Chain A
Amino acid sequence: MKKRLKELVIHRLKLKDTWVICFVLGLVMMNYPFISIFNKEVLPFGIPLLYLYLLVGWSFSIFIVYLFSRAARRDSDTKGHL
């Protein structure tokens, strides 16, 4: 079950469509009005919310791209060059 889910995720990550969707999603999440949710003068953990949101969101998206590259690396044509 877990393995099948992993295969499924990897398969989806290989699709160009998924990349485009993530790109658009990221664009939306970094712009008005979405970003106004976090545009507040509060300091959770002592760090301003917006700053925290952007940093966390940034590292999260790096992680997603990392997953993408892991999935794409499984393509046979890229073997041996990484």
Chain B
Amino acid sequence: MLEVNWVWGTALLYIALLFLVAYYADQRQKAGRSITANAWVYSLSIAVYATSWTFYGSVGKAATTGIDFLPVYLGPTLTAFTWWFLLKKMVRISKENNITSIADFISSRYGSSQWLGAIITVITVMGVMPYIALQLKAVSTSFTIITGYHDFHLGFMERVYIPSPHPGLFTALLLAVFSVLFGARHLTSTERHDGLVAAIALESVVKLVAMLVVGAFITYFAFDGMGDIFWRMFQKEPHTLSRLVTLDATGENSYASMFSILALSMSAVMLLPRQFQVMVLENAHEAHLNSASWRFPAYMFLMNLFVMPIALAGILMTGSNNGADYFVLTLPMRLDSPWIALVAFLGGFSASAGMVMVESIAVSTMLLNHVLMPVVIRFRPQSWFPLLLINLKRFGIVLVILLGYLYQSAVGESYMLANMGLISFSAAVQFAPALIGGLYWPRGNKAGAITGLLLGFAVWFYTLLLPSVLQAGGWQTDLLLYGPFGIGILRPQALFGLTGLDEFTHTLFWSMFMNIAAYLSLSILLGQGEKESEQMNRFVRVFSSEGTPQWETKRLSKPVTIVQFVTLMSKFIGEQQAHAAIADYLGEREIDGKGGVSEFELPNLKRFVEKTLAGSLGGAAAGAVVESFLSDIGSRMEPVFDIFSTVRTSRDQSREALFVRLRASEIMNRSLELDIIMGDLLELLLREFKLDLAVIRLLNEESVLKVRSYRGVGGERITAEDRILEIDTHVGEAFLGRRTEFFNDTAFITKPIAKEIFQKEGIKSFAHIPIASEGSPPVGVLSVFSRSIIGLFTEQFVELLESLAGQLAQAVRIVEEREAKERERRQKEAALLENARVTRDLELAKQIQLSLLPESPPSLPGLHIASRCVPAAHVGGDYYDFFHRGTGVMDVVMGDVSGHSVGAALIMVETRSVLRAQMQESRSPKDLLKLLNELLYDDLTGAELFITMFCARYDDAKRALTFANAGHTRPILFRGGSWQELDAEGLILGVEKNVVFEERHTPLEPGDLLFIYTDGIIEAENDAGDFFGVDRLCRLLSGLLKEEPEVVIERVLTEVGTHAWPQPLQDDISMVVMKVA
């Protein structure tokens, strides 16, 4: 016996230490430097599996039924082989879906079914009741044993005689306070509880150390090691020993029980709510699973190393296995080592406390999320909801622990610890088919899971829990012995006449048989709902879906804004958390001008809101909350319209989309006519996509989007009206904004004109796609309309339409380029034609002009004359003429209108007419020039032209030449080897109205050669810029004085042409050669 106050004091000190550790870990977590995100702590926290059942009960079981205490720990070791893929998958799924508990996990897999979650919660609450009872019983019994008091005896109470609390109740309340403090600080259940985990890990260390200390003390101090214990046992009670260390064919310590306990523990280590909590939810990093998978089994191994020796030592020391459950405590006391016993008590207390805390928190989360929440969310969300929910969770923790206490009070004394634990294991194993099937079997469905669970639970209740309560209370044993209403075949512990098995194997067999059979058969017979198969994909294919983007297959029928979602979240998880969450989500996403996310992003946002809420409310309730919120604002999730025969979730192009693209390029290549291309393309769209109307508008020169082509029925206003580029039409917005403008439901349209048109036309959804090739401004807008389908425009479809519009833009560009080229070619052609016509006209003019010059020079006795005019262009301004005045007298005129254009030619013609008219009378050269100047002055000034003119009269009788010159190139007279220029004063015609010309005379002698010419000869220029010049001309002529005038002309022309070559003549050339015989 130990002084009660010592026990009290130590226990309280220990609890204070736990608080401190938990508080410190919490502070560290707040500072962002978690001490529990560590593989060692993780492994130790999983050891919450070892409860007081392990600590005390294993020895009890080893001493009574024997070696089958071991499979409870061998099972978990075996499952450790599967952790790296099975548990990893569960952890990954839980993190991605914000899973809060095992009930949430399984119900989420089966379409977030609230019913399934509720059923699992009820099973769990019933199932963990015996287990929590076991812990409370262990604490109170060990207290009683170590102190000798049957209540939590306080020293002063002896004097005041107040009824002291029952130790079980007291323990229950104490643990409840601890759990509430460290397990229910936030509502968000997915957040790791660092304080709790740290406390659990510390307790795991304490219970292991305590067990090893007690075991080593008994084995090596009271006895001489394990071999000694076995040897003494073999000497003293060989039959007991052989019973305990071998397996029988039937009964409690048989091959069958070995198998069933193995199976139970294998599933329990992962499926018990507290195991799920620490292994899956409190996991900080997936890599921790890796090292935990050997550290945890090693922990179990050490924990059980001394169990058999202690059990046998107990039998040896006490002579029987009575009270074997507490040998760990009683043997040190028998050996007069109360301090060792106190260590053992602390170890046992640690084992119980850890289990109760985690279990109550886990189950309370389930209760809140799956039983209370479905009720709570029926009410309109209020601002005080977060407070209500967190308090409900705290209440749940207390409730779960008190239920355990209740069971303990009712059943407590009659059952062994280990057996109470196995009852709980048998309940937990019911989750295995739905969970494992849910992880790996795509067909597993909700109906199967619910039915299987219910049947398994019913069998468990009827064959295990009910008998345990009945036997404990001693009531209604008839039922157990003869079955209900005496129907023997329904006896709970020999259902359908199955006997020869221990009760756990019996229950395991029947419950699993029913459970699995129902799960498999209903899953195969019935299908999955849409929500179910969506969730199934997230669970079964959690690893395979990584990194491959998917097409969205859902849409919200009415757009919801971000603000609305935030308001909703605030009502459940508090404003601050809601804002933090949404900021986190929006961080890397695009937000459009209206402060919303794109329509294709909305379903994702909705899922995110659901997931965030799921972290606090559980998946099923969160789903229901969001659903009811959506239906309140008149929106809902609906599948996108299936434009192809199958909704493709993969980003790969569907066969149909490829087909349409292929056909579109065929259309573009088949014709060069834009109208045909557009018409065919629109027809293709209408035919393939069940559209009602499709219009193409192209931008014309006046910046108006003009309807160029349309197909489909109705829509007079749409097809008739062109659109100017304005932001207040959808077409304009699409064009100016250079992005697709679409409405999946015209009921929510805001632009008044569009709204009116669409209402009249009955159009339900539409899209305007700018026709633009990559990187260049749009050339038009492709518009498609549907009268029947809301939600036609999925991301996938819009992308396809955009790509078709891009193709069309290419076609438009090609056609435009081709048309521009064609236009240019025509213009050139026309210009050429015009040119030819002008040339022909000019040629005609040239002929006419040449014909105006004297056909042949007059023949005068004693005078040889030759003349020639070579226009530089078709027509020229040079003119010469001869006028025969009776015998022996002849007038010669040579003029040069400035320039050699058509204008010059016309003036030349006029000059000729005037001259010819005036030549009827005989005038002296100076009079003639004066008269001509007067007559032509006005016309010349008007045309801004002028004329140089040389005028001479030859009198054969006098052999003399009378001449006057109006600025013309001076003629050259060759006489006897020398030459002179004939000069006379005179102004160019057309400069001044009244001009007096000088008249000169020169006698002519036989052999004289007079050369009258225009400046085209001497101004002929060669490449180097040298003029032909008067000198050159004179030298040339000097050598030709003996020649005939015709020959002279030919030679001069040849020389001038040679001089200027390769340039053509710049000016008209005219010359008259007169040779006096």
Contacts and interface: CB of A to CB of B under 8 A. Distances in A.
B70 A54 contact: yes
B287 A82 contact: yes
Contacts of B308: 51
B255 A23 contact: no
A69 B242 CA distance: 38
A62 B297 contact: yes
From B39, B245, B259, B288, name the one whose CB has the most chain A CB atoms within 10 angstroms: B245
A62 B258 CA distance: 20
Contacts of B84: 16, 19, 68-69, 72
A31 B71 CA distance: 10
Contacts of A59: 301
A73 B290 contact: yes
A9 interface: no
Contacts of A36: 247, 255
A46 B227 contact: yes
B70 A47 contact: no
| Main secondary structure on B side of the interface with A | helix
Contacts of B644: none
B230 A61 contact: no
B81 A19 contact: yes
Interface in B254-303: 255, 258-259, 262, 285-288, 290-291, 293-294, 297-298, 301
Interface string A1-28: 0000000000000001001101100110
Contact of A23 (B81, B226, B227, B285): B81
B131 to A, nearest CB: 24
B496 interface: no
B78 interface: yes
Contacts of B255: 31-32, 35-36
Interface in B71-88: 71, 73-74, 77-82, 84-85
Contacts of A22: 81
Given A30-B71, A51-B245, A23 B77 contact: no
Nearest to B40: A82
The residue in A26, A55, A59 that gathers the most chain B C-beta atoms within 10 A of its C-beta is A26
Contacts of B293: 65, 68-69
A58 B305 CA distance: 11
A75 to B, nearest CB: 9
Contact of A50 (B67, B226, B234): B67
Nearest to A46: B227
Contacts of A32: 255, 258-259
Contacts of A68: 81, 84, 293-294
Interface residues of B, number: 42
Contacts of A77: 287
B241 interface: yes
B246 interface: yes
Contacts of B297: 58, 61-62, 65
A27 B308 CA distance: 22
Contact of B67 (A41, A51, A81): A51
Contacts of A47: 226-227, 230
B231 interface: yes
A31 B70 CA distance: 13
Contacts of B242: 41, 48
B246 A39 contact: yes
B301 to A, nearest CB: 6
A82 B82 contact: no
Contact of B247 (A27, A50, A58, A81): A50
B67 A30 contact: no
A58 B230 contact: no
Contacts of B234: 43
Contact of B82 (A20, A41, A69): A20
Contacts of A16: 84-85
Contacts of B231: 43, 46
A55 B306 CA distance: 11
B123 to A, nearest CB: 26
Nearest to A21: B81
A65 B81 contact: yes
Interface residues of A, number: 39
Contacts of A72: 84, 290
Interface string B223-251: 00011101100100000011001110000
B917 to A, nearest CB: 113
A13 to B, nearest CB: 10
A65 B67 CA distance: 24
Interface string B201-236: 000000000000000000000000011101100100
B77 A43 contact: no
A30 B262 contact: yes
A77 B71 CA distance: 34
Contacts of B298: 62
Interface in B47-93: 67, 70-71, 73-74, 77-82, 84-85
A68 B88 CA distance: 15
Contacts of B78: 23, 26-27, 30, 61
Nearest to B259: A31
A45 B290 contact: no
Contacts of A81: 39, 285, 287-288
B650 to A, nearest CB: 25
Contacts of A73: 287, 290-291
A63 B290 CA distance: 13
B74 A50 contact: no
B291 A69 contact: yes
Contacts of B301: 55, 58-59, 62
A48 B230 contact: yes
B165 to A, nearest CB: 42
Given A23-B81, A54-B74, A62-B77, A40 B246 contact: yes
Nearest to A59: B301
Contacts of B71: 30
A64 to B, nearest CB: 8
A59 B228 CA distance: 22
Contacts of A63: 294
A72 B287 CA distance: 9
A63 B298 CA distance: 9
Nearest to B255: A32
A39 to B, nearest CB: 5
A44 B801 CA distance: 81
Given A23-B78, A31-B259, A41-B246, A48 B287 contact: no
B309 to A, nearest CB: 10
Nearest to A78: B287
Contact of B246 (A20, A30, A48, A58): A48
A43 B238 CA distance: 11
Contacts of B228: 46
B246 A50 contact: yes
A26 B327 CA distance: 31
Contacts of B288: 81-82
Contact of A82 (B73, B85, B262, B291): B291
B290 A48 contact: no
A48 B294 contact: no
A39 B291 CA distance: 33
A61 B246 CA distance: 21
Contacts of B226: 46-47
A23 B297 CA distance: 14
Interface string B476-501: 00000000000000000000000000
Contact of B77 (A31, A46, A51, A58): A58
5 contacts: A23-B79, A32-B258, A32-B259, A48-B246, A81-B288
Given A41-B245, A62-B294, 13 more contacts: A16-B85, A20-B82, A23-B81, A30-B74, A32-B255, A35-B255, A36-B247, A39-B246, A45-B227, A54-B74, A58-B301, A59-B301, A78-B290
Interface of B: 39, 67, 70-71, 73-74, 77-82, 84-85, 226-228, 230-231, 234, 241-242, 245-247, 255, 258-259, 262, 285-288, 290-291, 293-294, 297-298, 301, 305, 308
What 4 A-B pairs come out closest when comparing CB atoms? Answer: A48-B245, A46-B227, A78-B287, A32-B255
